Amino acid sequence: MRAVPGAGSAPLIAPSILAADFARLADETAAVHGADWLHVDVMDNHFVPNLTLGLPVVESLLKVTDIPMDCHLMIDDPGRWAPPYAEAGAYNVTFHAEATDNPVGVARDIRAAGAKAGLAIKPGTPVEPYLEILRNFDTALIMSVEPGFGGQKFIREVLPKVGTLRRLVDSGELTVIVEIDGGINDDTIEEAAEAGVDCFVAGSAVYSAEDPAAAVVALRRRAADASTHLTL
Ligand code: DX5
Ligand code: ZN
């Protein structure tokens, strides 16, 4: 896996286990072998109106997969709760800009605990106020649905935020992986790729497929074909 995204990198596909069968998480993780990241949505029923899973489940999942884990924390108080996911062995730990007054401090703690640090913003949150502090992050996650639920419709109005980040990464001012989350499927991945996304989260599109691993390969191919900054 590349350390820093750039022109000619391969698209990263991150299946979201939010769309998997929670009674069979180990099998569902194995079903997406070949995925670049495994996206795990942590929701606390405070920051978002839904409750999913937390650290004990992440710790168990880490034992059964070699796929780098991408924890997306949709929770209040990430300063308190995010670093343990890094200590547990998550590859990337992303929290929401809207959930803390001290995003740089949280990123520092995540990195000190051994993970990459990601900053997520909701569809209605502008990216400009965060461009400067993104120097302290490894990942920038642009939400293309309201956080809380899988299976929603892609909000294409967020794509200019992707374009802003892409230009800053390509000019060397930022080194973040540009990630998009929500409503990504065969019909929407191309416009996201054209806009400049590096890493594509896909929940329902992957897990509703008869062969989830093949769906990952197909999505990766579509993203690469649609984009000038991505190749296979
Ligand atoms: C939504 C989650 C997403 C979700 C995406 O709050 O952050 O990761 O699983 O699901 P799809 O791909 O079905 O929109
Ligand atoms: Zn997510």
The arithmetic mean of pLDDT across residues 107-114, rounded, is 98
CB 113 within 8 A of CB 83: yes
Given a cut of 70, is residue 110 above it in pLDDT? Answer: yes
Using alpha carbons, list the distances in angstroms from residue 145 to 40, 80, 107, 174: 16, 26, 24, 24
Which atom of ligand 1 approaches the CA of 147 most closely? Answer: 6
**Does the annotation flag 172 for ligand binding?**
no
**Does the annotation flag 144 for ligand binding?**
no
Q: With bands split at pLDDT 50, 70 and 90, how would you rate the model's confidence at 196?
A: very high
The whole-angstrom separation of Cα 52 and Cα 202 is 17
pLDDT in tens, 17-75: 999 999 999 999 999 999 999 999 999 999 999 999 999 999 999 999 999 999 999 99
Given a cut of 60, is residue 1 above it in pLDDT? Answer: no
DSSP 3-state of 52: coil
The whole-angstrom separation of Cα 73 and Cα 48 is 10
State the distance from the centre of ligand 2 to the C-alpha of 18, rounded, in angstroms: 8
Residues labelled catalytic: 41, 181
Q: What domains are defined for the chain?
A: 12-226 (3.20.20.70)
The arithmetic mean of pLDDT across residues 143-147, rounded, is 99
**Does the annotation flag 229 for ligand binding?**
no
Which atom of ligand 1 approaches the CA of 18 most closely? Answer: 9
Within the chain, where are the H helices? 25-30, 55-64, 78-81, 83-88, 103-112, 159-170, 189-195, 204-207, 212-226
State the distance from the centre of ligand 1 to the C-alpha of 113, rounded, in angstroms: 26
State the distance from the centre of ligand 2 to the C-alpha of 40, rounded, in angstroms: 7
CB 185 within 8 A of CB 204: yes
Task: Output the ligand 1 site: residues, CB below 6 A.
Answer: 16, 18-19, 39, 41, 72, 145, 147-152, 181-184, 201-205
Our CA angle for 78, 126, 169, nearest 5°, is: 85
What was the pLDDT predicted at 8?
76
pTM of the model: 0.97
Q: What is the mean pLDDT of the chain?
A: 96
